[in-house]
């Protein structure tokens, strides 16, 4: 299956001149890989190229920031030792969402990105204090074969980078007993990342509405309520906003 994904990925890159995401620091020697070896992102990269709404130019700040975030996600998900995470300042790094708890590098690595970014959710929807790193990844990997991420717009340059983003995937798996029907599930949000002179992440704050996303996965809301950022802006605003219309076309 991965070989077929790789073949399709190379074909779409050649036909449309698209750039595959670059996740740095994957070829260093001595890395302690969580799952035994270097991860293969062929499926995620293919779904990213097929479903993204932006095409940032090579060398642009947008593409640099997007690849930095993808590198951070890769390292946090696959490198066991947080001191081997090159995308962050290991001593100063901290991350949080929506004004909830801020986690330092060691803490964030111990609980995992899902638990960090969902830490303030109502416990009946997601109780991060009762879910391990492994359990959190299993929950969402069971729901989506791939869940690509793209940067939409950058509003300020280094050292404090403000940006909007989109996450999406086809809900073909199962989440807490609810079986998806292949519907498109989207998330939109805003982020502010402070970087150092080596373009390493020092502080990351993410803003979004995870409650609606979780309710969709549980079958309590239709996926259309997330489409085009409706959960953030309201259905009327999302329908009338030219920018969001362009994203959906």
What is the structure's pLDDT at 243?
A: 58
Beta strands in the chain (DSSP E): 94-97, 103-104, 149-154, 160-171, 174-175, 178-179, 183-195, 201-207
pTM, whole model, 2 decimals?
0.92
In 3D space, the residue among 18, 34, 38 whose CA is nearest the CA of residue 26 turns out to be 38
pLDDT digits (tens, 9 = 90+) for 98-120: 999 999 999 999 999 999 999 99
What is the structure's pLDDT at 245?
A: 58
Q: What is the mean pLDDT of the chain?
A: 94
For residue 234, give the 3-state DSSP assignment.
coil
pLDDT exceeds cutoff 90 at 242: no
pLDDT digits (tens, 9 = 90+) for 36-80: 999 999 999 999 999 999 999 999 999 999 999 999 999 999 999
pLDDT exceeds cutoff 60 at 244: no
Tokens of 146: 């791939």
Q: Where is pLDDT greater, at 202 or 239?
A: 202
pLDDT exceeds cutoff 90 at 81: yes
What is the structure's pLDDT at 246?
A: 59
In 3D space, the residue among 141, 140, 142, 118 whose CA is nearest the CA of residue 130 turns out to be 118
């Amino acid at each position: 299956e991965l070989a077929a994904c790789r073949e399709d990925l190379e074909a779409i890159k050649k036909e449309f001149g698209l750039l595959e995401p670059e996740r740095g620091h994957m070829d260093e020697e001595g890395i302690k890989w969580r799952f035994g070896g270097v991860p293969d992102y062929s499926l995620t990269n293919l779904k990213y190229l097929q479903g993204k709404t932006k095409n940032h130019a090579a060398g642009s700040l947008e593409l640099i920031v997007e690849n930095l975030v993808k590198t951070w996600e890769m390292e946090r998900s696959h490198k066991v030792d947080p001191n081997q995470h090159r995308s962050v300042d290991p001593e100063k790094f901290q991350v949080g969402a929506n004004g909830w708890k801020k986690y330092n590098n060691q803490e964030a690595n111990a609980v995992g990105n899902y638990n960090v970014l969902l830490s303030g959710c109502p416990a009946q929807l997601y109780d991060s204090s009762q879910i391990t790193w492994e359990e959190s990844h299993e929950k969402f990997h069971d729901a989506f074969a791939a869940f690509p991420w793209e940067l939409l717009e950058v509003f300020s340059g280094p050292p404090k980078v403000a940006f909007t983003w989109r996450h999406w995937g086809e809900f073909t798996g199962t989440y807490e007993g609810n079986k998806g029907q292949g519907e498109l599930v989207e998330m939109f949000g805003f982020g502010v990342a402070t970087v150092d002179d080596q373009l390493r992440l020092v502080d990351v704050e993410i803003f979004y509405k995870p409650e609606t996303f979780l309710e969709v996965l549980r079958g309590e809301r239709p996926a259309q309520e997330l489409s085009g950022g409706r959960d953030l802006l309201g259905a009327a605003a999302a329908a009338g906003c030219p920018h969001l219309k362009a994203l959906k076309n």
